[in-house]
Structure formats: C-alpha cells, structure tokens
Amino acid sequence: MLPTKSRQKSALVAFSIMACFASPAASETRPAIGSTWSSMTTGELITAAPADAWQQIEQSQLLYLEFDPPAGSGTGPARVIIQLAPDFAPNHVAALKELVAKDFFNGKSIVRSQDNYVVQWGDGPAATQAGFRGGQMTAEFDRPIGRDFKPFELKDGDVYAPKVGFWRNWPVAWDPAQKRYWLPHCYAMVGAGRDEGADSGGPAELYAVNGHSPRGLDRNVTLLGRVVLGMEHFATLPRGGEAMGFYGETQSKPRIIRAVLGSQLPEREQINLQALRTDHAIYPQVLESRRNRRDSWTKFKAGRLELCNAPLPVRIAPKE
Amino acid sequence: MLPTKSRQKSALVAFSIMACFASPAASETRPAIGSTWSSMTTGELITAAPADAWQQIEQSQLLYLEFDPPAGSGTGPARVIIQLAPDFAPNHVAALKELVAKDFFNGKSIVRSQDNYVVQWGDGPAATQAGFRGGQMTAEFDRPIGRDFKPFELKDGDVYAPKVGFWRNWPVAWDPAQKRYWLPHCYAMVGAGRDEGADSGGPAELYAVNGHSPRGLDRNVTLLGRVVLGMEHFATLPRGGEAMGFYGETQSKPRIIRAVLGSQLPEREQINLQALRTDHAIYPQVLESRRNRRDSWTKFKAGRLELCNAPLPVRIAPKE
C-alpha cells in the first residue's frame, strides 16, 4: 500500500469512499474465510473478500451518463455510472427511469460545477413543461422505518444524525425516535435539485456531491443514488463562473450525449459492477481496518471512523 | 442566495469552507454592529461584517504557487495561494520558506491527483539530496497546548477529536487530557508528505486535501497551511492513472512555474487577503447561520455543524 517508487512519497494511502476497484486475487491464493482478516489492511481485505461478499448491481439500477468534455479540454467523452436507490427514493427513481426512457437528458447539459459542493445537470423546468412528473414531484427526503430496515450500525457517532450505519450497501442515517431513515450527503451521492418549495424539485435536474460532504443538506433534498464509476469526470469539471458555480452564458456547458439505463444497453456495453455487502462478515473488518489502520505507515491510529469516510467498495466483476 | 434564473434550480446554497469572497457592502449601508446579525444568512453576515472583523493575512505568510495547466487543457497558467500556519508547524514553515528562497519548487511538478483525497507536488528526495532540511525533518504532527492557546470551541461534537474549534482563524482539534493541539484534515488543508518514518517527510513535497476530509490522517502528517485562493485549480486537475493517483510516465505532469512568498512580490502583484476573525463577536453568528440556516429554502434545520463544514471566510480586501 506504500509507494514503491522512491520519488513517490507521502504514503497517503486510501480508498475512495464510493468507488474502489480491486483486482481480485485468484481464488486459490485466497485465505480461508476470516482466517486472517483481523490483521489485513483495507486493500488486502477487499482483495481477499470471497465471492459471496460481493453483490451484483442490477443493470436496471445503473444510469450510464455520457457527456462531452468541456471545450478545449483535449479529452474524449466521459462516462459516469450512477447506482440508483429505490429503497430510499422509489418515486424519484421511477420518475427518473421514465425520463430516461424518453431520452430526456440527451442533448441537455451540465449546468453547474461549484467547488467543494456539487456538480449539477439536466433541466427541471423543461421536464415540467413537457409534462413529465420528474420535473416537480413530492419530496422523498426521508422514509418511515419499516420492518425490513435492518441496518448495521456504525457506533463511532455522528455530528448530524442520531444514528448512522449501512443498509443494503448504502450509507444510512436514521432517527429511532422519529422512526425515519434517510441517505446522507456523502461524497459522490446524487440528489434531485429543487427550488424554494419542498416539492419543487425532481430527478430531471440532478446533482452529485464533489467535495467535503454538505451534510447540512440531509433531509432537505431527495437523494436517489450515488456515483459508482467515473466520479473523477464530475469532480474535475471546470468550476462555473456565476453565483453558486453555475456556468455563465459565455462558458461552454458540457453536453450530455446520452443517459441510459444499463438494461437498455447491449450486453457488451454493460459494465458488470458489484458492491461489497455491508451485511457480510467481512464488512466490520473493513471498517475496523480504517478505524485503526493496520499498515506500518500509520503512527497515530484514529480509533474512530466517520460515516462518509467508511469504504463502500464497488468493483468491476472479475471474469468468470 | 437562491438562484435568480428560473433555470437555475436547486438552491444548494453554500459558501466554500476555506475561501469565500464577498463583496463588502459600502460602510454606510452596514447595520450597526450586531443589531440584526441573529436573523442574517451566512452570506449576509459576511457582507455585513465590520472592518474590525477582518484580519489582514501577512504577505510573508502567503505562498503563491503558479503552474502550467495539464497539456491540452486549453487554459492558461493557474495560481493557487496558500496561507502558512507557523502557529501549528513553525519548523516546517521556516524550512518551506528556505526552499522557496532557493527557488526550489520552480520547474518541479504536480506529481499526484487522487480523487477524493489529495493533490501533491514538489520533490522531497531532491531536496534531501540538495542538502535542504525541508526534504526530511522532525514531524510536527501536533503541539503542546501553551498559555496562548485560547480556542473558540465548537460544541457540536466531532467523530475524531475530543475537542474541536477555531484558533487564530484556523480550524483546530485538541485533547485536553494529553494537552496537545493540531490542525485537522479539512478540505483545502495543506500538509507535508512523508514516507514510512514519522520524520521522513518535509515541506519539499506538499499535498492539499481535495475531497471529503481524510480526518483519519490527523496527527499522522504535518499540516502547515491551507489554500485560501484558487483551490479549484487543484481540485480540477486530471486524476493520476497510477496507484494512489500518481501521474504515470506517459501522463503530463503540470509544471510549477514558480512558488514565491507574497513578500517577494512587487506590491502590484500581491493579493490583499483578509480572514474573518474567529475571535470576533460576529463569528458565533456565522456558525449559527450554518447550524440552523436562516433562508426560506431550508426545510429541515440541521441544528448541528461539523468542524470541516464551518465557514472560515477569506476575502480580497476592499479598496480603501
């Protein structure tokens, strides 16, 4: 995990919060399940995770967003893949799929890039004008806790929520007293922009968190997904020159080539993604390996882990 | 603070954590000090802050870093300004100034850009080889609390540190039991990379946090400053293709044109920056305006504020 080239110092070792792609070790070199997990680093654990620790992400829950880079950037089209969250925002996800089926996003633009805040794309008013429910709809800021809500609690505490943890491979916050749960604004989370009214937004205009998580927005906007591949293409977009990072009239807005569900794509174009199961026995070890790092570089073990710093690894599935 | 154009929805209003440039209102339109602060939004408070709430940042404490953009990006040279933190890492800051005086960084490169982690530049081994103490020096991970340490405590709690707050316009964490204080890894904070050993790093190779704050690194590396202008130029650098975001041999590394202290520059090239005083009476109101937002867009007031989400406004000083 430490730099191998002498020039590459710093050893600021980390996995990104949302997307982490490990080359799985060949199965014969894998340790017996759990045998040595307690001494492994985060990277080693992800590599060692057995097949049953990985959960396929359905192509129908993956939004492939392709867009032209900013003019003059010298790079080719970019692709970002977003996993949708029907367990948290079922109506928004359904309305988003309707928009995608109508090619709504194709030809629209990325309209905003604000440093340390959000990237935003789409066009809510246009969707409303065209009669799509995804332009303006009833908010899904949080949801009632039902019988199926069985999160794994992160007991390190949280500044913003009474309880935090993981459920179905997502970060989650909840309030046992109010019996409500919600998605937190972690890096790479995707939500629906809105105007003044709680019900003035919808999935026709989306944003992704590109900096230190604006957790103060929790329960103020409907979060409906997370970027699981290509977040760097959003994060590196030139910042907008107008207030709140909107691109001005004279700035080129990256044009969306197309937004399609994985299930609309021919199989050869699908990216086979898997998420590490947060209900698998290896996951507490993954968290512990970040709470108290097991590499020799670390001199002072933090002993604590913040929700938005918890690894939620996603990988490209190994070839059969 | 809400979008004025009908197409600009979302109202995801925020000031960046580190750098916030407000056009100060003409003094005759300013309210009497404190008269209406308790109803103002963060933006209104920063605009209304009286002259004595702003503290000049000495040019000798500002590092101007100019670099070529990545090949093909189509943009001109970028400038990032870093405020140094001698109250937290006096020896590192002194050694950095020695390096700058010897033109050490001129012609070196940005060597790393890892998504949601850090941007890194300079060359530690080269400095050591050239005999500069800034290549490898004794760590300054934290410091003993002295009589002069009088922080303003943020009482919202923290996942990582026993106590957090602000001191001399910096975010700070401390442990009353151990009697130590340190800078936390918030967005845009700048630190010294190191290898395996605690004392194996130095200011000849620096990094800046470009994503959700890796607070788990606190007290493992020497933080010595923060980006106060131009952070977006770091944040939008293409991510490196090698492990940990290092640029590979085939990737162009942005070349550093020069790194100079503001005090080395002719006055016409100096940017006159001021930080909002965290010991001024307006500052608790600034925090409260983020803890419980006072705009009509906000439906659910967070009631809490995390250290790295606290505004630490820096502005370009108004013309006399």
The CATH classification number of B59-269 equals: 2.40.100.10
Q: Is B270 exposed, middle or buried (0-12, 13-18, 19+ CB in 10 A)?
A: middle
Q: Which of A15, A136, A182, A212 to mutate to test the interface with B (most CBs of B within 10 A)?
A: A212
* Interatomic CA distance for residues B285 and B294, integer angstroms: 11
Locate tokens 């199989």: which residue? A267
CA-nearest residue to B193 within chain A is A10
Q: Tell how strand A118-122 and strand A110-113 pair up.
A: antiparallel
Locate tokens 């409303």: which residue? A128
How far B22 CA lies from chain A's nearest CA (Å)? 11
Is A209 in contact with A181 (CB distance < 8 Å)? Answer: no
Query: In the structure encoding, which two tokens stand for residue B296, read together?
Result: 């009509």
On the CB side of A189, how many CA atoms lie within 13 Å of its CA?
30
Phi/psi for A243 (5° steps) reads -55, 140
Question: B220: which chain A residues are within 8 Å (Cβ-Cβ)?
Answer: 297-300
- Regions in chain A scoring below 70 on pLDDT: 1-34, 72
Question: A213: which chain B residues are within 8 Å (Cβ-Cβ)?
Answer: 212, 309
The strand order across the sheet containing B163-167 reads B143-144, B180-182, B170-175, B163-167, B152-153
Is A221 in contact with A192 (CB distance < 8 Å)? Answer: yes
* Interatomic CA distance for residues A57 and A65, integer angstroms: 16
Phi/psi for A302 (5° steps) reads -60, -40
Inter-CA distances, A70 with A233, B67, B72, B288, Å = 11, 20, 12, 38
Q: Which of B10, B120, B128, B290 to mutate to test the interface with A (most CBs of A within 10 A)?
A: B10
Q: Is A50 exposed, middle or buried (0-12, 13-18, 19+ CB in 10 A)?
A: middle
Q: Which of B46, B121, B129, B159 to mutate to test the interface with A (most CBs of A within 10 A)?
A: B159
How much is the pLDDT for A182? 98
CA-nearest residue to B128 within chain A is A7
Locate tokens 């050239």: which residue? B130
Name the amino acid, one letter, at B224: L
How much is the pLDDT for A32? 54
Domain boundaries, chain B: 27-56+282-316, 59-269
* Interatomic CA distance for residues B93 and B104, integer angstroms: 14
Spell out the residues 6+ positions from residue A61 whose beta carbon is closer than 8 angstroms to its own: A83, A84, A86, A262
CA-nearest residue to A142 within chain B is B300
Question: A220: which chain B residues are within 8 Å (Cβ-Cβ)?
Answer: 297-300
How much is the pLDDT for A173? 98
How far A125 CA lies from chain B's nearest CA (Å)? 6
* Interatomic CA distance for residues A75 and B70, integer angstroms: 11
Is B169 in contact with B275 (CB distance < 8 Å)? Answer: yes
Spell out the residues 6+ positions from residue A4 whose beta carbon is closer than 8 angstroms to its own: none
How much is the pLDDT for B13? 34
Q: What is the pLDDT of residues A41-73, one digit of tens each?
A: 999 999 999 999 999 999 999 999 999 987 767
The strand order across the sheet containing B273-276 reads B54-56, B273-276, B314-316
Is A134 in contact with A99 (CB distance < 8 Å)? Answer: yes
A73 with B72: Cβ contact below 8 A: yes
How much is the pLDDT for A203? 98
Q: pLDDT per position in chain B (320 positions), as tens? A: 223 333 444 443 333 333 333 333 333 444 456 679 999 999 999 999 999 999 999 999 999 999 998 776 777 899 999 999 999 999 999 999 999 999 999 999 999 999 999 999 999 999 999 999 999 999 999 999 999 999 999 999 999 999 999 999 999 999 999 999 999 999 999 999 999 999 999 999 999 999 999 999 999 999 999 999 999 999 999 999 999 999 999 888 999 999 999 999 999 999 999 999 999 999 999 999 999 999 999 999 999 999 999 999 999 999 87
